[in-house]
Amino acid sequence: MNKKLRNLIQQLGEAIHETVSESEHVAGVVKDIRNQGFDVMLMLEATIGLNEVEEEPAGAPALADEVPETVPQGPFTSQDMNFLKSLRISLAEEADKADAA
């Protein structure tokens, strides 16, 4: 990973931390928990995944024209499906296909 990309990822992490730290909503909920007699220690872990974007050659069909059969029609991309699978979430359509097999 090059130095510029590493710096950008670090900036992203800092921006996420700053956003959570400055959130009035988060601060309000923490205050409510403390009012209930508890001390709060908040630790967040962010996983940042990168996929290098490959340029399509001139005249290549658009991605919308190339929908793989394993990806259900609708708002989900193959990356969305991989993310859901990493969380152990399956769609009803996918579960039905697995049951039929």
Measured from the Cβ of residue 58, the count of other Cβ atoms closer than 10 Å reads 5
Q: What are 40-93's pLDDT values in tens digits? A: 988 888 788 888 887 766 665 555 555 455 545 567 777 777 777 777 777 766
> What domain range is 77 assigned to?
60-101
- 32 and 74 share a domain? no
Q: What is the pLDDT of residue 67?
A: 47
Whether the Cβ atoms of residue 28 and residue 22 lie closer than 8 Å to each other: no
Q: Which residue has the higher pLDDT, 8 or 47?
A: 8
Q: What are 13-44's pLDDT values in tens digits? A: 889 889 988 999 999 999 999 999 999 988 88
Contacts of 13 (CB under 8 A, 6+ apart): 46, 48
Q: What is the pLDDT of residue 94?
A: 59
- 2 and 47 share a domain? yes
pTM over 0.85: no
- 37 and 73 share a domain? no
Please provide the distance, in angstroms rounded to a whole number, between the alpha carbons at the two ends of the chain: 41
- 30 and 74 share a domain? no
